[in-house]
Amino acid sequence: MLNAMTIDVEDYFQVAALFSAVKYEDWDKWPSRVENNTLRILDLFDEFKTKGTFFILGWVAERHPSLVKKIVERGHEIASHGYSHQLIYTQTPKVFREETARSKSILEDITGIQIKGYRAASYSVTTDSLWAIETLIELGFTWDSSIFPIHHDRYGIPASPDLPYTIRSESGSIVEFPLTTAKVAGQSIPAAGGGYFRQYPYFLSKWLFSRASGQGTRPMIFYLHPWEIDPDQPRVKNISAFSRFRHYTNLSRCESRLKQMLTDFSFCTVGQVLDQTDFSNEIKLEDLKNNA
Ligand SMILES: [Zn+2]
């Protein structure tokens, strides 16, 4: 069973954990490291003969169009990570629609390829922002990977399905590929990558991912950010101890763990996984809200 390998292409200063200390207006003042870090990931994927899906922030794509082209040339899939990395439930539907359409056309103009997939900043499609799903359908996206079926302070729809499913709304339908969770003692434990992957010892990540996938019988999705393999990134000051923990824990261990992950599991793009996945389990948008 193939799993989806995904990279959220954004810079170290753009993440939600650092919002309080780094203003959107100041992003251009920070030294950019996203291009070099993403190129290192591309080399790593070549080494392990792995293809993945790269969710690219519109803000980054505008400043690094050659990077976007390189990702496509090296055989990977491109999807949208929005434009400004603002949490959807803090945006108005109007602003969300404008910036999502903008991010889609930036990527389409650079690559000449129709963009079908979307992932929200910090998985911020929650019951407060499910209207965003309707907007994604209207803008022509055919799949989304923004819903984390867990309890968390910033994201998650705990009662939502943990395997790919179809969301139907008045505007049409879209496939949702939820972020990987493993059931342990009746609890849903995040097993999808990112901060969890850096905080857990590797054997635990491996065990959870394998358990979530039913020992390789169900397709799962893994994610990482280019800045997570960059222990030398400039440190952002004036953040809480908790945010510091979330952002900086085990950056120096992440690349070797990723190599282990690429050795122990088989990965490809989201599009390739969905081509061989049954997502006929259909849920109405309003039921997703009501059951949560
Ligand atoms: Zn992100």
The DSSP element (H or E) to which 181 belongs, if any, is strand 181-184
Distance 146 CA to ligand 1 centre (A): 10
Percent of the chain clearing pLDDT 70 (strictly above): 99
User: Which of 6-10, 105-109, 195-199 has the least mean pLDDT?
Assistant: 195-199
Return the structure tokens found at 167: 């969301």
Distance 123 CA to ligand 1 centre (A): 8
pLDDT band at 136 (very low <50, low <70, confident <90, very high): very high
Distance 278 CA to ligand 1 centre (A): 27
Specify the pLDDT at position 292: 63
| Residue 242 reports pLDDT greater than 90 | no
Distance 107 CA to ligand 1 centre (A): 16
pLDDT band at 16 (very low <50, low <70, confident <90, very high): confident
Distance 15 CA to ligand 1 centre (A): 6
| Residue 152 reports pLDDT greater than 90 | no
Collapsing DSSP to helix, strand or coil, 255 comes out as: helix
Distance 9 CA to ligand 1 centre (A): 7
| Residue 291 reports pLDDT greater than 80 | no
Task: State CA 252 to chain mean position distance.
Answer: 21
Distance 83 CA to ligand 1 centre (A): 10
| 5 within 8 A of 222, measured Cβ to Cβ | yes
Q: Write out pLDDT tens, residues 80-135.
A: 999 999 999 999 999 999 999 999 999 999 999 999 999 999 999 999 999 999 99
Specify the pLDDT at position 170: 93
> Which positions ≥6 away from 192 have C-beta within 8 Å?
148, 179, 180, 181, 220, 221, 222, 223
Specify the pLDDT at position 72: 98
DSSP state of 88: G
Specify the pLDDT at position 26: 94
215 or 103, higher pLDDT: 103
| Residue 233 reports pLDDT greater than 80 | yes
Which domain range does residue 125 map to?
Answer: 3-291
User: Which of 13-27, 33-47, 163-177, 202-216 has the least mean pLDDT?
Assistant: 13-27
What integer best gives the mean pLDDT of the chain?
94
| Residue 77 reports pLDDT greater than 80 | yes
The pTM of the full predicted model, rounded to 2 decimals, is 0.96
Task: State CA 180 to chain mean position distance.
Answer: 11
Distance 292 CA to ligand 1 centre (A): 24
Distance 134 CA to ligand 1 centre (A): 21
Distance 239 CA to ligand 1 centre (A): 18
Distance 106 CA to ligand 1 centre (A): 17
User: Which of 47-61, 72-86, 178-192 has the least mean pLDDT?
Assistant: 178-192
Distance 101 CA to ligand 1 centre (A): 17
Specify the pLDDT at position 200: 94
Distance 84 CA to ligand 1 centre (A): 10
DSSP of 182-233: EEETTEEEE-SBHHHHHHS-HHHHHHHHHHHTTTTTS--EEEE-GGGG-TTS
| 86 within 8 A of 122, measured Cβ to Cβ | no
Rounded Cα distance between 272 and 265, Å, is 15
User: Which of 15-19, 103-107, 228-232 has the least mean pLDDT?
Assistant: 15-19
Which residues are 176's β-sheet partners? 144, 165
CATH number at residue 71: 3.20.20.370
Specify the pLDDT at position 112: 98
Distance 57 CA to ligand 1 centre (A): 8
User: Which of 150-154, 165-169, 233-237 has the least mean pLDDT?
Assistant: 150-154
Q: Write out pLDDT tens, residues 173-187.
A: 999 999 999 999 989
Distance 208 CA to ligand 1 centre (A): 23
Q: Domain tally for the chain?
A: 1
